[in-house]
């Protein structure tokens, strides 16, 4: 019998705030981080790796929450470890559920653990995750999807119908994507903290590399937003797609006013115009700024929120996040909802490792759920990929189909030794590390690992 034998949890942090990478109107000093776990098994070399993404302080809280879910996994038989059943087991732990329910740290932690479980399942099957999913039957997929609280918008039968409609032509779309890749756009040029020269240079590079979309951060000073958008529109040209992203800094009426003041740049969408929880606010904004589209979802806490965004006709683009939702089980549910309502899913990515994950989700979405590329484009940021064992590949503005087994979620051991907080070489005995530690009343670890069990 093959079993899960133990686990390691790491608080991994990259000191990205040094270079203003990732800076926007809300998040001025992000240290891209991953609360990361490795499930070890009794099979040689077989592990399951997963994480949730944070931007620095508080990553240790996610590590603590991940730890809370893990002891029960040690000793489980890999042959009977069903990700759908495990997800239901996590959802029905009433004591831990209280901390959300289904939102915030405890939900991020379920996402991280289930990401590792799906990685393990795909590696054991010898398939990249997107293909593992694309080989499941409609019935298996609906069983894996978390459809609870959704039946007023999407019944199980409707979900099955969507999947069955796409099933006969899955192979055609896999063949198509094998040639073209899955379309993506880049945010690499658009961070608020970059100078005009750096912005223009990066935007020109992006266009030269084949991108047809550019996304710019806005929401600081309006005159500066206009100056930066002028450069971006010049570079992408009148026919190119320019998106703007306010990262939640506005109240509803402020958002309407400010987006109207930027309407002459003809943006494709305004992203995160206000609180990510405000379904009715987004619906009001969408009505007032049309034909500019409204996009949100990177802080979309769970499927019940997305259900309402769709029911209220509040969004034109649904930007789910691979780590904010509780892994593949909840992602499939949201993809099915979006397909029912005819709204394109354009996942959020960037940070650390989000690109590695969402490529699998977008490819699966097209192959087995939406069967449509209209209006679809998935985020890509060229950042920190070198830390992954199986980094995503982008070519001509498209994600190349991953071919290695798993969810592309495994960090290199050398990265853990360098960036684990606070014991990694990048943090221990450095000025940046000492500053970060002032705000962390840290606990004893073995230096690199937040927690270890069973090993």
Would you name the residues annotated as active-site residues? 217, 348
Contact characters 96-115, a second copy, x per CB under 8 A:
xxxxxxxxxxxxx-------
Given 3-state DSSP classes, what are the helix, strand and coil percentages for the chain, each rounded to the nearest 5? 45, 15, 40
Inter-axis angle of helices 83-91 and 104-125, nearest 10: 170
Residues contacting a second copy: total by CB under 8 A: 73
For a second copy, the closer of residues 64 and 266 by Cβ is 64
Question: Interaction with a second copy in 311-340: which residues (CB under 8 A)?
Answer: 311-312
Tell the smallest beta-carbon distance from residue 293 to a second copy (Å).
20
Q: Which of residues 295-314 bind a second copy (CB under 8 A)?
A: 299, 301-302, 304-305, 307-308, 311-312
212 binds a second copy (CB under 8 A): no
Measured from the Cβ of residue 160, the count of other Cβ atoms closer than 10 Å reads 16
In the complex with a second copy, the residue whose CB is nearer, 34 or 203, is 34
Give phi and psi for 199, each to the nearest 5.
-60, -50
Closest approach, Cβ 354 to a second copy, in A, equals 13
Any idea of the CA torsion for 364, 370, 373, 379, to the nearest 10 degrees? -50
Q: Would you state the structure tokens that stand for residue 12, as one six-digit string?
A: 């991994």
453 is an interface residue for a second copy by CB under 8 A? yes
The total of other beta-carbon atoms located within 10 Å of residue 210's CB is 12
Is the Cβ of residue 56 or residue 181 nearer to a second copy in the bound state?
A: 56
Closest to a second copy by CB, 106 vs 189, is: 106
| Piece in contact with a second copy (CB under 8 A), picked from 21-29, 137-145, 325-333, 411-419 | 21-29
| Residues 378-417: x where in contact with a second copy by CB under 8 A, - otherwise, as a string | ----------------------------------------
What lies within 8 Å, CB to CB, of 212 at 6+ separation is 183, 185, 240, 241, 397
What residues numbered 267-286 form the site for a second copy, per CB under 8 A? 274-281, 284
* Alpha helix ranges (H) inside 128-249: 129-134, 138-144, 156-166, 170-180, 196-208, 222-236
- We find the least distance from the C-beta atom of residue 403 to a second copy, in angstroms, to be 32
Segments of 172-329 assigned E as strands: 182-186, 213-217, 241-245, 269-271, 293-296, 317-318
CA distance 445 to 455: 15
Scanning 36-44, 87-95, 225-233, 377-385 for contacts with a second copy by CB under 8 A, the matching segment is 87-95
CA atoms of 342 and 372, how far apart (whole Å): 10
**Min dist. Cβ of residue 125 to a second copy (A):** 29
**Alpha carbon of 57 to those of 32, 386, 422, 450: distances in Å?**
10, 23, 12, 14
The H or E element containing residue 156 is: helix 156-166
Q: Which is nearer to a second copy, 354 or 371 (CB)?
A: 354
Q: Using the rule CB under 8 A, which residue among 80, 95, 195, 374 binds a second copy?
A: 95
We find the least distance from the C-beta atom of residue 252 to a second copy, in angstroms, to be 4
Under the binding rule (CB under 8 A), the answer on residue 64 touching a second copy is: yes
Instruction: Decide if residue 439 touches a second copy (CB under 8 A).
Output: yes
Q: Which of residues 131-150 bind a second copy (CB under 8 A)?
A: 148-150
Stretch of 27-35, 157-165, 177-185, 355-363 lying at the interface with a second copy (CB under 8 A): 27-35
Pick the closer one to a second copy by CB: 149 or 403: 149
444 binds a second copy per the rule CB under 8 A: yes
Which residue shows structure tokens 């409204």? 294
Q: Give the three-state DSSP class for 395.
A: strand
| Closer of 261 and 280 to a second copy (Cβ) | 280
CB of 103 to a second copy, least distance (A): 5
Closest CB to a second copy among residues 127, 322: 322
Query: If binding is defined by CB under 8 A, does position 263 make contact with a second copy?
Result: no
> What's the CA gap between 10 and 327, in Å, rounded?
19
Is residue 127 near a second copy by the rule CB under 8 A?
no
| Site mask for a second copy (CB under 8 A), range 218-257, x = bound | ------------------------------x--xxxx---
Instruction: Name the residue among 406, 337, 349, 356 with its Cα closest to residue 378.
Output: 349
Point out which span in 67-75, 176-184, 221-229, 259-267 binds a second copy (CB under 8 A): 67-75
- Residue 188: closest CA among 235, 255, 129, 130: 235
Which of 191, 186, 185, 184 has the alpha carbon at shortest distance from 16? 191
The span from the CA of 200 to the CA of 206, in Å, is 10
Write out the two tokens for 320: 């789910």
20 binds a second copy (CB under 8 A): no
Q: At what angle do helices 104-125 and 59-69 cross, to 10 degrees?
A: 60
Is residue 30 involved in binding a second copy (CB under 8 A)? yes
């Amino acid at each position: 019998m093959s079993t899960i034998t133990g686990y390691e949890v790491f608080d991994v942090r990259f000191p990205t705030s040094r270079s203003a990478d990732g800076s926007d109107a809300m998040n001025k000093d992000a240290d891209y981080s991953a609360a990361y776990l490795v499930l070890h098994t009794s099979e040689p070399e077989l592990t399951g790796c997963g994480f949730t993404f944070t931007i620095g302080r508080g990553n240790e809280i996610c590590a603590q929450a991940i730890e809370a879910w893990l002891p029960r996994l040690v000793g489980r038989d890999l042959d009977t470890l069903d990700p759908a059943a495990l997800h239901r087991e996590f959802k029905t732990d009433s004591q831990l559920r209280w901390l959300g329910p289904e939102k915030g740290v405890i939900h991020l932690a379920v996402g991280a653990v289930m990401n590792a479980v799906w990685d393990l399942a795909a590696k054991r099957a010898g398939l990249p995750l997107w293909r593992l999913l694309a080989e499941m039957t409609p019935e298996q997929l609906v069983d894996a999807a978390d459809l609870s609280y959704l039946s007023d918008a999407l019944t199980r039968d409707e979900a099955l119908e969507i999947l069955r409609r796409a099933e006969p032509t899955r192979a055609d779309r896999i063949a198509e994507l094998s040639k073209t890749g899955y379309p993506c756009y880049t945010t690499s040029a658009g961070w608020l903290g970059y100078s005009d020269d750096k912005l223009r240079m990066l935007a020109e590079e992006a266009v030269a590399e084949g991108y047809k979309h550019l996304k710019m951060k806005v929401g600081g000073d309006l005159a500066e937003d206009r100056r930066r958008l002028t450069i971006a529109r010049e570079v992408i040209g009148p026919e190119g797609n320019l998106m703007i992203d306010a990262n939640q800094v506005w109240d509803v009426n402020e958002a309407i006013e400010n987006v109207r003041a930027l309407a002459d740049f003809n943006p494709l969408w305004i992203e995160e115009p206000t609180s990510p929880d405000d379904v009715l606010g987004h619906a009001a904004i969408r009505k007032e700024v049309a034909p500019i589209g409204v996009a949100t979802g990177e802080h979309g806490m769970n499927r019940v929120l997305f259900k309402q965004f769709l029911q209220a006709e509040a969004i034109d683009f649904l930007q789910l996040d691979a780590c904010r939702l509780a892994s593949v089980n909840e992602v499939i549910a949201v993809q099915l909802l979006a397909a029912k309502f005819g709204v394109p899913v354009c996942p959020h990515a960037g940070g650390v490792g989000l690109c590695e994950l969402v490529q699998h989700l977008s490819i699966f979405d097209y192959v087995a759920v939406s069967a449509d590329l209209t209006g679809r484009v998935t985020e890509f940021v060229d950042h920190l990929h070198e830390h992954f064992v199986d980094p995503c590949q982008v070519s001509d503005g498209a994600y190349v189909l991953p071919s290695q087994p798993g969810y592309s979620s495994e960090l290199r051991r050398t990265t853990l030794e360098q960036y684990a907080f606070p014991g990694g070489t990048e943090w221990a005995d450095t000025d940046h590390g000492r500053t970060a530690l002032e705000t962390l009343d840290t606990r004893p670890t073995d230096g690199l690992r937040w927690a270890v069990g069973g090993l």
